[in-house]
């Protein structure tokens, strides 16, 4: 019985840990200097096709569930 409880707890902990970064896992961002607008740098996701404009850093979340092009 204690072994079953420990197994269930372990499964829950692994599920929570695996889900923690699920929003960033799918997108692979590439910088597109030709599409940049002044200080805003354009990024394209090669996985889902989303677009994002950022002034600092690469986008940190997946936009594949938001239906296409988006701006951050």
Strand 29-37 to strand 40-45: parallel, antiparallel, or no bridges (unpaired)? antiparallel
Tens digit of pLDDT for each residue in 11-63? 999 888 877 655 555 678 888 888 888 888 888 888 878 888 888 888 877 76
Does the pLDDT value for residue 71 go beyond 50? no
pTM: 0.51
Does the pLDDT value for residue 9 go beyond 90? yes
Does the pLDDT value for residue 5 go beyond 80? yes
Residue 40 contacts residue 55 (beta carbons within 8 Å): yes
Top-confidence residue, 67 or 35: 35
């Amino acid at each position: 019985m204690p072994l079953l409880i420990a197994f269930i707890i372990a499964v829950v902990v692994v599920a929570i840990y695996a889900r923690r970064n699920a929003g960033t896992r799918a997108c692979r961002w590439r910088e597109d200097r030709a599409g940049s607008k002044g200080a805003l740098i354009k990024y394209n996701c090669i996985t889902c096709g989303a677009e994002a404009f950022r002034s600092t850093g690469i986008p940190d979340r997946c936009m594949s569930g938001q239906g296409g092009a988006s701006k951050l």
